[in-house]
Amino acid sequence: MKPILTHEQEALLKQERQWLIDLQVVLAKLGATAEDQTTLSRSIQQLDELFLLVVVGEFNAGKSAFINAILGQPLLKEGVTPTTSQVNILKFGETSQRQIQEAHLHLLQEPIELLRRIHIVDTPGTNAVIREHEAITEEFVPRSDLVLFITSADRPFTESERTFLSQIKAWGKKVVLVINKIDIFETEAEVSQVVEFVRENATVLLGTTPEIFSISARRALRAKQGQPEQWSGSGFESLEGYIHDTLDDTSRVRLKFLNPLGVGDRLVGKYAEITGNRLALLAEDSETLANLARQLDLYRDDMERDFKFRMSDIENLLYDMEKRGNVYFDEMMRMGRIFDLINKERIQRGFQTQVVADLPRSIETKVNELIDWLVNADLKQWHGVMDYLSQRKQEYEDLIVGDVGGNFRYDREHLIDSVGKSTQRVVETYDAAKEAEKIAARAQMAVAETAAAEAGAIGLGAIITALATTVALDITGILAASVIAALGFFVIPARRRAAKKEMGERVTALRTQLSTSLKAQFDKELNGSLQRINEATAPYTRFVRAEQDKLQQTQTELTEAKKIQGRIRAEIEEMV
């Protein structure tokens, strides 16, 4: 930078540079757009360059004419149609030279003293039919240290100028307003009227009253080129006074320092907003997932409660059998039935038909019902998850997350979508009959294992039959043997009691076996069902958590950046 910096200024510059570099890192991590990252790195480079005074305005406002007048020579082309089609940077050079630096960036060197202290930039006009011109200028604005905003006296402060001016403001630029072509007015009063109009509107828009100059570039150039009588009516006296005197070394250094700070600050604001939006969206995602978790908890509770009811139905079947057994023994073990008692076969058959009766089939039916219920509940739960996810997705569709940078939106939507799809696939390919069959086979195995029976191809009913028959055999065995051994008046009632007790114990054992193994099986199935659902939504859950952590970190960093920015800005503004 041309003006020699004081020690304090050097130190401040170092701090600022560090701040900008730190911000660069944060923005890169956040996935800021390439455009924004370039803007930031350009404005860092710019700290080393000379003060850049950028002249902007609508086409035909007289930007090129104004610069010609400042420099005292018609160096730039003027015209009534959109004329300037690239950015022209004017710098000092011992000889006049023109170079094309980039497609829309020309460098003009002229041996003019003023250009040793500041570089002046002519830009293409905005609001022309050639939209590209506007884009070129908008892209250049972040690089400026001071913006001279030229408006034409015949159409001061148009709607498009308002828009453009607020953009410049957003970049944190200092703006000076210049009303050109005041030579079109007959009286001073008309000039004052336009100045007043521009002042009022600009103050509302910018929040402060900017410097405003009313000039005639045409008269000023003529004055400098041999018509001195034009000077007083050109308004250039005070404008040039401002450029030469008010923009002294310190003011220029201050503006120069503030420039990248303003750019950085704007980007901090922009990305803080995006981060905030994303976090808000993720909070809703979290809520969605918490709701899903609550639904699954409820599902588990409901299932467990229902299972208890269904299990007690099955247990009641066994109680009923015990009751039938008691009746049977009362009926059978009497002296009057002594001949029946001697016949072991008959006792067994009687026990089989009257006590065991259709218990195995009833239990099998109940267990099958239980399995169907389990399968349907599982399917219903998948449906619930799927419906819930797709409904949430619908709700989010209209939300603007800030498409800027990174794959956040894509990743997130992609995930919700794929989780939703995989859930849907589960629902669509769910074969309830096959599921039930699998569970039935597993239940049968479980019961068989505890009963030490062979599961194989025989059904659950057969296993129960085997169990119940064992009970019958055992009891009738004791019964018949003892009856034959000692027929007695007291013996029979005693045997009857023993038989009843024995049967009670056997039935209890059977009940315990059955309910323990069915409960264990049920727990396994329910846990499996819940686990499958959790696994299906896990990628979404993981994304939400990871993204939340990352964004919270970014948010902290941006808040910190904002704070440091404020401190550096205060120091720059106090600089003397």
Ligand X SMILES: Nc1nc2c(ncn2[C@@H]2O[C@H](COP(=O)(O)OP(=O)(O)OP(=O)(O)O)[C@@H](O)[C@H]2O)c(=O)[nH]1
Give the interface with Mg ion as residue ranges (CB under 5 A).
Answer: 63-64, 83-84
Q: Which tokens sit at 539?
A: 């990628």
* CB 252 to Mg ion: min, Å: 25
Task: Kindly write down the DSSP assignment for every residue of 384-429, as one continuous string.
Answer: HHHHHHHHHHHHHHT------SSSHHHHHHHHHHHHHHHHHHHHHH
Q: Which does 311 bind (CB under 5 to 8 A by kind): Mg ion, ligand X, none?
A: none
* CB 217 to ligand X: min, Å: 4
Task: Kindly write down the DSSP assignment for every residue of 177-210, as one continuous string.
Answer: EEEE-GGG-SSHHHHHHHHHHHHHHHHHHHSSPP
Question: How many angstroms separate the CA atoms of 475 and 459, rounded?
Answer: 25
Q: Is 285 in the site for ligand X (CB under 6 A)?
A: no
Q: Is 59 in the site for ligand X (CB under 6 A)?
A: yes
Q: Which stretch binds ligand X (CB under 6 A): 80-88, 157-165, 343-351, 413-421?
A: 80-88
Question: How many angstroms separate the CA atoms of 427 and 456, rounded?
Answer: 31
Residue 123 or 259: which CB sits closer to ligand X? 123
* CB 152 to Mg ion: min, Å: 12
Question: How many angstroms separate the CA atoms of 151 and 213, rounded?
Answer: 10
Residue 63 or 366: which CB sits closer to ligand X? 63
Query: C-alpha dihedral over 340, 346, 348, 354, to 10 degrees?
Result: -90
* Through-space distance between the first and last CA atoms of the chain, rounded to whole angstroms: 17
- Using CB under 6 A as the binding rule, the residues of this chain from 166 to 205 that contact ligand X are 180-181, 183-184
Q: Which does 4 bind (CB under 5 to 8 A by kind): Mg ion, ligand X, none?
A: none
Residue 63 or 143: which CB sits closer to Mg ion? 63
Q: Which residues contact 114 (CB under 8 A, 6 or more apart)?
A: 70, 71, 120, 243, 244
Q: Which does 485 bind (CB under 5 to 8 A by kind): ligand X, Mg ion, none?
A: none
Q: Which does 275 bind (CB under 5 to 8 A by kind): ligand X, Mg ion, none?
A: none
Residue 84 or 476: which CB sits closer to ligand X? 84
Question: How many angstroms separate the CA atoms of 400 and 532, rounded?
Answer: 32
On whether the CB atoms of residues 151 and 183 are closer than 8 A, the answer is no
Question: How many angstroms separate the CA atoms of 404 and 423, rounded?
Answer: 30
Q: Is 539 in the site for ligand X (CB under 6 A)?
A: no
Neighbour-count burial of 445, counting CB atoms closer than 10 A to its CB (0-12 exposed, 13-18 middle, 19+ buried): middle
On whether the CB atoms of residues 147 and 56 are closer than 8 A, the answer is yes
Of the candidate residues 61, 198, 455, 507, the single one contacting ligand X (CB under 6 A): 61
Residue 67 or 115: which CB sits closer to ligand X? 67
On whether the CB atoms of residues 134 and 126 are closer than 8 A, the answer is yes
Residue 181 or 256: which CB sits closer to ligand X? 181
* CB 387 to ligand X: min, Å: 58
Q: Is 495 in the site for ligand X (CB under 6 A)?
A: no
* CB 540 to ligand X: min, Å: 52
Residue 13 or 217: which CB sits closer to Mg ion? 217
Question: How many angstroms separate the CA atoms of 248 and 102, rounded?
Answer: 31
When CB distances to ligand X are compared, the closest residue is 125
* CB 137 to ligand X: min, Å: 9
* CB 125 to Mg ion: min, Å: 6
Q: Is 80 in the site for ligand X (CB under 6 A)?
A: yes
* CB 124 to ligand X: min, Å: 6
On whether the CB atoms of residues 427 and 379 are closer than 8 A, the answer is yes
Of the candidate residues 3, 31, 72, 82, the single one contacting ligand X (CB under 6 A): 82
Q: Is 222 in the site for ligand X (CB under 6 A)?
A: no
Of the candidate residues 43, 60, 127, 521, the single one contacting ligand X (CB under 6 A): 60
Q: Is 88 in the site for ligand X (CB under 6 A)?
A: no
- What are the phi and psi torsion angles at 102 (to 5°)? -140, 175
How do beta strands 105-110 and 97-102 pair? antiparallel
Q: Which stretch binds ligand X (CB under 6 A): 72-80, 361-369, 469-477, 480-488?
A: 72-80
Question: How many angstroms separate the CA atoms of 488 and 278, rounded?
Answer: 90
Q: Is 266 in the site for ligand X (CB under 6 A)?
A: no
β-sheet bridge partners, residue 152: 180
Q: Which residues contact 37 (CB under 8 A, 6 or more apart)?
A: 24, 27, 28
- Using CB under 6 A as the binding rule, the residues of this chain from 91 to 150 that contact ligand X are 124-125
**# residues near ligand X by CB under 6 A:** 23
Q: Is 217 in the site for ligand X (CB under 6 A)?
A: yes
* CB 69 to Mg ion: min, Å: 13
Residues listed for the chain: 576
Q: Which does 79 bind (CB under 5 to 8 A by kind): Mg ion, ligand X, none?
A: ligand X
* CB 17 to ligand X: min, Å: 35
Residue 209 CB coordination number (10 Å): 11
Q: Which residues bind ligand X (CB under 6 A)?
A: 57, 59-65, 78-80, 82-84, 124-125, 180-181, 183-184, 216-218
